């Protein structure tokens, strides 16, 4: 059984709505999030850690809200910002901006311990913190007896929108203040959100690849 690695039950509901009930099992595991400017190295690193914990196939879901006029902030720090500022203050910051465009991004990282044509190493070598965390390619020191990091396949999804006053009571996280095509994500059901969302798009790419596996 594929384990969907997240501490967030909302993400699992959406994954199940997309992939089918009973196809994934939630692994409530809080992997260490490295500091990086992109989601890919965080998700890849998390997938390797979660695979070692689960000892079976895992899919890590790392997502974030990227506000255009703030150069993508909070991006990979979205969870920390939701916990500290909260979505009302994020909305207040956005209200002070002329340009309220934003996007959600999601990276799914799959690891099952086997080899496959993995995505290129997602570490941004310009990002010294992430590169140091990933370690040299031939000496990852993870104790799995391999001479390199475990292969990880990445699937990315993106959805544009804008920050608005909160509407709707569905979804989770920033959903009430994120509007796409006239509706906030909190006003859409899981199915409609999946049809357009960052997670839905990443899940679509994953499902297509996984079906052949």
| Partners of residue 155 on adjacent β-strands | 108
Q: Which of 28, 55, 61, 62 is catalytic?
A: 62
Select from 22-30, 78-86, 117-125, 150-158 the region that touches ligand IMP (CB under 6 A).
Answer: 78-86
Residues 94-113 that bind ligand IMP (CB under 6 A): 104
Q: Does the protein bind ligand IMP through residue 119 (CB under 6 A)?
A: no
Q: Report d(CA 74, CA 81) in Å as an integer.
A: 7
What is the maximum span of the chain, computed from C-alpha positions, in angstroms? 53
190 binds ligand IMP (CB under 6 A): no
In terms of CB distance, is 180 or 213 closer to ligand IMP? Answer: 180
24-27: strand order across its sheet: 24-27, 2-5, 58-67, 101-111, 153-163, 178-180, 183-184
- Of 93-101, 112-120, 149-157, 165-173: span binding ligand IMP (CB under 6 A): 165-173
Q: Is 62 a catalytic residue?
A: yes
Q: How far is the CB of 38 from ligand IMP (least distance, A)?
A: 13
Q: Is 106 helix (H, G, I), strand (E, B) or coil?
A: strand
Secondary structure (DSSP) of 124-187: -TT-HHHHHHH--TT----SSS-SSPPP-EEEEEEEEEEE-S---S-S-TTGGGEEETTEEGGG
| 151 scored as a contact of ligand IMP (CB under 6 A) | no
> Which CB sits closer to ligand IMP, 54 or 203?
203
Residue at shortest CB range from ligand IMP: 173
Closest by Cα among 144, 129, 141, 159 to 41: 129
Report the C-alpha gap between 64 and 52 in whole angstroms. Answer: 25
Closer CB to ligand IMP, residue 175 or residue 187? 175
Q: Which positions are catalytic?
A: 62
Residues that bind ligand IMP (CB under 6 A): 6, 8, 62-65, 78-79, 82, 104, 171-175, 185, 197, 199
């Amino acid at each position: 059984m594929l384990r969907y690695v997240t501490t967030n039950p909302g993400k699992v509901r959406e994954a199940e709505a997309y992939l089918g009930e009973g196809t994934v099992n939630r692994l409530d595991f809080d992997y260490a999030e490295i500091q990086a400017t992109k989601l890919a190295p965080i998700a890849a690193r998390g997938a390797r850690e979660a695979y070692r914990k689960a000892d079976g196939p895992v899919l890590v879901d790392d997502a974030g809200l990227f506000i255009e006029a703030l150069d993508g902030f909070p991006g990979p720090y979205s969870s920390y910002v939701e916990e500290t500022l909260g979505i009302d203050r994020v909305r207040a910051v956005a209200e002070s901006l002329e340009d309220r465009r934003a996007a959600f991004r999601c990276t799914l990282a799959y690891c099952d311990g086997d080899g496959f044509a993995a995505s290129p190493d997602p570490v941004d070598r310009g990002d010294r913190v992430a590169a140091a965390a990933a370690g040299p390619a031939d000496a990852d020191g993870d104790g799995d007896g391999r001479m390199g990091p475990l292969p990880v396949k990445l699937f990315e999804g993106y959805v544009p929108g804008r920050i608005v006053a909160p509407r709707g009571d569905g979804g989770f996280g920033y959903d009430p203040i994120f509007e796409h095509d006239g509706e906030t994500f909190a006003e859409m059901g899981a199915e409609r959100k999946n049809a357009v969302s960052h997670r839905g798009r990443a899940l679509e790419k994953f499902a297509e690849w996984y079906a052949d596996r």
